[in-house]
Amino acid sequence: MLSVEDVTVGRSGLTIVRGVSLRVDAASVTVLLGANGAGKTTLLEGLSGAIPVSSGVIRLDGRPIEKLRAWRRARAGLAHVEQNRTVFREMSVLDNLRAACRRGDTPDRVFELFPELVKQIDAPAGLLSGGEQQMLVVGRALLGRPKALLIDEMSLGLAPIVVARLAAAVRALADGGVGVLLVEQFAALALDIADRAYVLARGEVVHSGDGRRLRADEDLLRALYLGGTPSETGV
């Protein structure tokens, strides 16, 4: 459904992401792993249009979108929860969500996925716990009714139990039909909910395969994380 073919993305004149191809199916979770600086955020920003791609094709439901502006990609059904995205702290939970609603739409879907937010509906978002704020951030992205959802570092700074809760919600979203591309520091936890996994090292895909199989192969995972190339790790 989201297909990425040979995409290269640069920053400040440097090539950061090199010829990446990957696929995110509808109703699935695809996890993108990689060490700090591997290029995960740069890739996601290139996919959503936050920064331009230098070459390659990005298709959403078969339609090339790499030349569209970011808001048009969002309109076409591609949502992006950016790394370090925050809530509007002074605004209530409800107003944060209303601001992201399409005309005539309600935020009910978000409260179904995250009932935790219901009792906080009138609270200023800045007073929510870190986990609840992240639920709100993910919730806002859902209100555009995305087909594909890119999530960059959902769990940064959160307690493991909260991360597990968010992971379960992401899995539920995928089971409801959304194709999720998840970048996550907690590799094991992300792989637990993953259908497919890719590992990026120095801007290149060095591994792709079944998420649960990679979860079970700690040696391979460690080797890939250390930035190994396919030949070094025998993949």
Ligand X SMILES: Nc1ncnc2c1ncn2[C@@H]1O[C@H](COP(=O)(O)OP(=O)(O)OP(=O)(O)O)[C@@H](O)[C@H]1O
Is 38 near ligand X (CB under 6 A)?
A: yes
34 binds ligand X (CB under 6 A): yes
Tell me which stretch binds ligand X (CB under 6 A): 11-19, 67-75, 134-142, 161-169. 11-19
Given the complex with Mg ion, which of 40 and 80 has the nearer CB atom? Answer: 40
Instruction: Report in angstroms how near the CB of residue 40 gets to ligand X at its nearest.
Output: 3
Residue 228 interacts with which of Mg ion, ligand X, none, CB < 5 to 8 Å by class:
none
Q: Is 52 in the site for ligand X (CB under 6 A)?
A: no
Q: Which is nearer to Mg ion, 154 or 214 (CB)?
A: 154
DSSP 116-162: GGGGGTTSBGGGS-HHHHHHHHHHHHHTT--SEEEEE-TTTT--HHH
User: Closer CB to ligand X, residue 92 or residue 185?
Assistant: 185
Q: Which residues contact 163 (CB under 8 A, 6 or more apart)?
A: 154, 155, 186, 189
Three-class secondary structure assignment of 48-62 = HCCCCCCEEEEEECC
Distance CA 100, CA 23 (A): 27
Q: Which of 41, 48, 120, 233 binds Mg ion (CB under 5 A)?
A: 41
Alpha helices for 178-217 (secondary structure H): 187-192, 211-216
Tokens 């139990």 found at:
161
**Residues 68-97 interacting with Mg ion (rule: CB under 5 A):** 83
Cβ pair 156, 187 in contact under 8 A: no
Q: Is 11 in the site for ligand X (CB under 6 A)?
A: yes
What's the rounded Cα separation, in Å, for the pair 173 and 121?
21
Cα–Cα distance, 235 to 207 (Å, whole number) = 7
Q: Which stretch binds Mg ion (CB under 5 A): 41-49, 58-66, 106-114, 194-202?
A: 41-49
Nearer residue to ligand X within complex by CB, 157 or 176:
157
* Tokens read off for 212: 């649960």
If the CB atoms of residues 28 and 42 are measured against ligand X, the closer one turns out to be 42
**Taking contact as CB under 6 A, which single stretch among the options 30-38, 70-78, 107-115, 186-194 is the one that binds ligand X?**
30-38
Give the span between the Cα atoms of 150 and 170, in whole angstroms: 11
Per-residue x/- track, 73-112, ligand X (CB under 6 A): ----------x-----------------------------
Question: Which residues would be at the binding site for ligand X (CB under 6 A)?
Answer: 11-12, 14, 16, 34, 36-42, 83
